[in-house]
């Protein structure tokens, strides 16, 4: 999975977090600097999904709205902002924007959500809700929709994570052994309708965004092809009373979910890139991870683990200083050493052990 082809953004705990998910034109949170980085690309956004109302996740909204109102693009393209119901910080931001941006040339809708809500991702950005704010299910883009789930970040208040799910078809279990040739033969002799009877619908989770939270319950995001999980704390001893996940906890969740790729984000700025790479490799070995692990740290999307023996291929969507690159590569080689040492210890054990 080429994660860099699917998303980009910026994430530094306490300061700013925003992620643009390209396939469905979604902006997950809108921290400071989102509009500056996106430029005219901000016109591609169809929906903003806010996980909660902390300032580092919503402070970029004013500049995003104003740049879409006056930039070189479709200034009449509507925008929808989804947020956890009764979030007082989002309510304050909404009130501020309504007072200061009274003549926006595009339709702006604020849509509150509860845990477990779902709404369709419609093609051509047709309105997805009625006057009551309830999303419709018609016109879905490729049968995809967003589903919310509860997270644990602010005591006594609703915070949300988001999943993009898609309805697909597959062979029923009793027909799973049929070859493509057998299916084609049946279609020719009995008609395409007979092939439909061999299949069933199922829900596939394309991507899941945890938002700020303690480790998410793995069953909530089970089956996600791409998992983005916050990893604010690299050293577990520094957690204190924060309602955030550690890097190792995020990897542990992924070890149960088994996505095609994991992206760690919302990491504290107190850590060096080389330390994050080191911790990622150690955690990947500890949890026997066999899929790639990426990290969105500040504005760099980097792959630190490729899920295979040996060091991950060097991959970063933003150029790094030459010395920084050498440091990260050193840690990647250490990842291979961790794996080799673990394998060696396993071979040294006697059959009785």
Q: Where are the beta strands (DSSP E) in the chain?
A: 7-12, 16-21, 26-28, 47-49, 79-84, 108-113, 118-122, 140-151, 159-171, 199-209, 226-230, 261-265, 293-297, 300-305
Instruction: Kindly state the percentage of the chain with pLDDT values over 70.
Output: 82
* CA gap 171, 78 in Å, rounded: 39
Sign of CA dihedral 254, 260, 266, 268: positive
Q: Is 220 helix (H, G, I), strand (E, B) or coil?
A: helix
* CA gap 15, 59 in Å, rounded: 10
- Partnered with residue 300 across adjacent β-strands are 297
* CA gap 351, 353 in Å, rounded: 5
Does 128 score more than 50 pLDDT? no
* CA gap 337, 83 in Å, rounded: 44
The pLDDT value recorded for residue 291 is 97
Q: Where are the beta strands (DSSP E) in 13-55?
A: 16-21, 26-28, 47-49
Across 208-233, average pLDDT: 97
Q: How many residues does the chain have?
A: 353
* CA gap 312, 6 in Å, rounded: 19
Sign of CA dihedral 115, 118, 124, 125: negative
**Given pLDDT bands bounded at 50, 70 and 90, which one contains residue 350?**
very low
Residues with Cβ < 8 Å from 350, sequence gap 6 or more? none
Sign of CA dihedral 169, 173, 178, 184: negative
- Mean residue pLDDT of the chain comes to 86
Q: Which stretch, 2-16, 172-186, 320-334, has highest mean pLDDT? A: 2-16
The pLDDT value recorded for residue 187 is 83
Interval 140-186: pLDDT, tens? 556 899 999 999 999 999 999 999 999 998 899 988 888 989 888 88
Q: Which of 178, 177, 144 is nearest to 162 (CA)?
A: 144
The pLDDT value recorded for residue 101 is 80
């Amino acid at each position: 999975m080429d994660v860099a082809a699917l998303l980009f953004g910026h994430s530094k705990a306490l300061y700013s977090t925003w992620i643009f998910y390209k396939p469905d034109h979604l902006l997950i949170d809108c921290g400071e600097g989102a509009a500056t980085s996106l430029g005219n690309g901000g016109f591609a956004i169809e929906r903003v999904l806010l996980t909660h109302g902390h300032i580092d996740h919503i402070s970029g909204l004013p500049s995003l709205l104003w740049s879409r109102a006056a930039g070189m693009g479709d200034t009449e393209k509507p925008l929808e902002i989804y947020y956890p119901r009764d979030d007082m910080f989002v309510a304050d931001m909404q009130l501020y924007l309504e007072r200061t941006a009274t003549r926006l040339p595009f339709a702006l809708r604020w849509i509150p959500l509860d845990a477990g809500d779902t709404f369709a991702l419609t093609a051509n950005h047709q309105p997805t809700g009625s006057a009551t704010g309830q999303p419709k299910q018609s016109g879905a883009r490729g049968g995809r929709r967003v589903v919310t789930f509860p997270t644990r970040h602010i005591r006594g208040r609703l915070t949300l994570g988001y999943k993009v799910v898609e309805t697909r078809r597959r062979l029923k279990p009793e027909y799973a052994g049929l070859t493509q040739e057998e299916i084609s033969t049946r279609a020719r002799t009995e008609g395409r309708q007979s092939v439909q009877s061999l299949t069933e619908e199922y829900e596939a989770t394309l991507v899941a965004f945890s938002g700020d939270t303690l480790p998410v319950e793995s069953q909530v995001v089970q089956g996600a092809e791409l998992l983005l999980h916050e990893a604010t704390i690299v050293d577990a001893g520094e957690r204190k009373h924060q309602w955030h996940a550690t890097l190792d906890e995020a990897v542990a969740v992924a070890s149960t979910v088994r996505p095609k790729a994991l992206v760690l984000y919302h990491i504290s700025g107190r850590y060096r890139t080389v330390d994050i790479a080191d911790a990622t490799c150690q955690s990947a070995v500890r949890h026997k991870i066999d899929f790639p692990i990426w990290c969105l740290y500040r504005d760099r999307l980097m792959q630190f683990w490729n899920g295979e023996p040996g060091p991950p291929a060097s991959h970063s969507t933003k150029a790094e200083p030459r010395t920084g690159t050498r440091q990260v590569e050193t840690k990647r080689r250490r990842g291979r050493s961790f794996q080799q040492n673990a394998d060696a210890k396993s071979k040294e054990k006697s059959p009785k052990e």
